[in-house]
Amino acid sequence: MEQISHREYRTRLSWLQSEWSNPDRTDYYLMRVAQRVQQVLSSKPNKIKMEDQKLDFDFGLAKKKTSLETLKQTKNRWVRAVSH
């Protein structure tokens, strides 16, 4: 097996992340099917969007969130869930 440098490894992961995070034609079909299934099972089918079905691949290359950012996001999600 070929040995690669850490820089090359990170470059390959960056490429994979950018490629896999962009849906292709088949992915859009699968996202649409997942959306329809969720709409059938949901009590609020109009709230479910196809964009919510998109999977983002993260290999740990993105900037790490601080605990304060995580806390703010959690609070915002909780407030949105309670207010509906």
Which single residue is written with the structure tokens 């196809």?
A: 50
Residues 19-66 have pLDDT tens digits of: 888 888 999 999 999 999 999 998 888 898 988 888 877 776 656 667
Residues 55-81 have pLDDT tens digits of: 877 776 656 667 788 888 888 888 888
Give the per-residue pLDDT at 81.
Answer: 83
Rounded Cα gap, residues 7 and 1, in angstroms: 17
Residue 31 Cα to chain centre, angstroms: 12
